[in-house]
Amino acid sequence: MHDDDGLAGAFPYERLRRYPDVEAPNLQAWDATDLLIADRGVADAEERGLTGREIAVIGDNYGAIALRLAAAGFVGVRVHQDLATGREAFRRNAEELGLPDLQMPCELESGLLEGARLVLMQLPRGLAELEEGADAVARWAAPDVVLLAGGRVKHMTLAMNDVLGASFEVVNAELAVRKSRLLVASVPKAVPERPRFPVCATYDDAGLTVCAHGGVFAGKRLDVGTRFLLGFLGRMPSGEALDLGCGTGALAAAYSLAHPDAVVVATDRSAAAVRSARATIAANGLEGRVVVEHDDAAASRPDASADVVLLNPPFHLGASVHAGAALRLIDAAARLLRPGGELWTVYNSHLDYRRRLRTAVGRTSVEGQSGRFTVTRSVRRP
């Protein structure tokens, strides 16, 4: 029998924070789905007599699920969190609550799932990410594994059942609770010898191959904004370059191909993006010329260390439309650029980041506009 091990009463979700991720009144560190998954996970683990080392958690944004398990006395729970910011928030939340006995972070690989008999998952919004996660559970977890995958009803589709059904013999949808629902999958099917991901596509017109894992933005597509910015590569200076928020690494790879003598670093806070970018770099024969790092807004890179920064910023945080991530990347670019260095940015024209670019970086000019996108060049002031 497990108990709350020093956390009296109900688990204190209100003490969880998102920091150093963006914090705002409309953004919190847990939701009703976290509560549903965590409570059901504790109950199922106790009923099956599991230890923490037989439990894995995927997509636990800020620790609400795994820390609830730890508070109930389960030790050694393995956790995969995609975002570098989320991993740091998770660590801070664990310290705040005095719950350090977790194996975190684990990548979405065999070490996360070998021997796992219970896997708890926040359903991703994208079907490709769910497909990769379901395949990983079926491929590496114990034969009697049960996967509890939860999501907000408004974001769930019948296609999610079908995706889980490709990897599991049994998939059941449970009744909704507080507008959240669990999909319960069991009896893993035989898996192909090689995982399907990363998937790759070659774009002859761009001279580029793009590779993607399931959780990366745009998948293997060369998204419209990135494709528009590629048209300006010849106008960019050559030097020490940084692809900030690199996604699949398409910009870093294309810049390196256009500037063979340049030193290029690609960085992203998403582990899925980092794995994708490394696959893209390898597919284009650029190992040794481009370094890919998992980092929050290139925080580990020194000030004034780049001659060129490439930026195609996001305008969503999870399911919320929020400019916070883009503004943090613009500020990071200002820190990273040497005086006279150039930030090349592509963004949806209706967002118009020019004021922030001028304030944070320096003189900013519009270099090109299409129907939807604007490309700007900002020169770092002395």
Whether the predicted pLDDT of 220 surpasses 80: yes
- The pair phi, psi for residue 320, each rounded to 5°, is -100, 135
CB-CB contact of 135 with 191 (8 Å): yes
CB-CB contact of 312 with 277 (8 Å): no
Q: Which CATH number fits domain 199-379: 3.40.50.11540, 3.40.50.2300, 3.40.50.150, 3.40.50.970?
A: 3.40.50.150
d(CA 89, CA 104): 12
Q: Residues 216-222: what's their mean pLDDT?
A: 94
pLDDT of res. 21: 83
Residue type, 259: H
% of the chain at pLDDT higher than 90: 87
Write the pLDDT tens digit of every residue in 42-68.
Answer: 999 999 999 999 999 999 999 999 999
Where residue 23 falls among pLDDT bands split at 50, 70, 90? confident
Write the pLDDT tens digit of every residue in 232-273.
Answer: 999 999 999 999 999 999 999 999 999 999 999 999 999 999
Q: Residues 97-109: what's their mean pLDDT?
A: 88
pLDDT of res. 321: 40
pLDDT of res. 8: 39
pLDDT of res. 324: 63
- Beta-sheet strands, E only, within 269-353: 290-294, 306-311, 316-317, 320-321, 337-348
Domain ranges (residues) in the chain: 13-188, 199-379
Whether the predicted pLDDT of 6 surpasses 60: no
**For 14, which DSSP code?**
G
Whether the predicted pLDDT of 320 surpasses 70: no
Whether the predicted pLDDT of 317 surpasses 60: no
Among candidate residues 320, 33, 286, the one with its CA nearest the CA of residue 181:
33
pLDDT of res. 122: 97
Where residue 165 falls among pLDDT bands split at 50, 70, 90? very high
% of the chain at pLDDT higher than 70: 95
Whether 199-379 and 13-188 are alike in CATH topology: the answer is yes
pLDDT of res. 323: 56
Mean pLDDT of the chain: 93
pLDDT of res. 37: 98
Locus of tokens 């006395």: 73
253: Cα separation from own chain's centroid: 20
Write the pLDDT tens digit of every residue in 173-193.
Answer: 999 999 999 999 999 999 999
Whether the predicted pLDDT of 22 surpasses 90: no
pLDDT of res. 351: 86
Homologous superfamily in CATH for domain 13-188 = Vaccinia Virus protein VP39 (3.40.50.150)
Where residue 315 falls among pLDDT bands split at 50, 70, 90? low
Q: 101 or 81, which is more confident? A: 81
Tokens of 310: 């490439």
Burial of 31 (0-12, 13-18, 19+ CB in 10 A): buried
Q: In the beta sheet, which residues pair with residue 210? A: 201
pLDDT of res. 26: 84
pLDDT of res. 105: 82
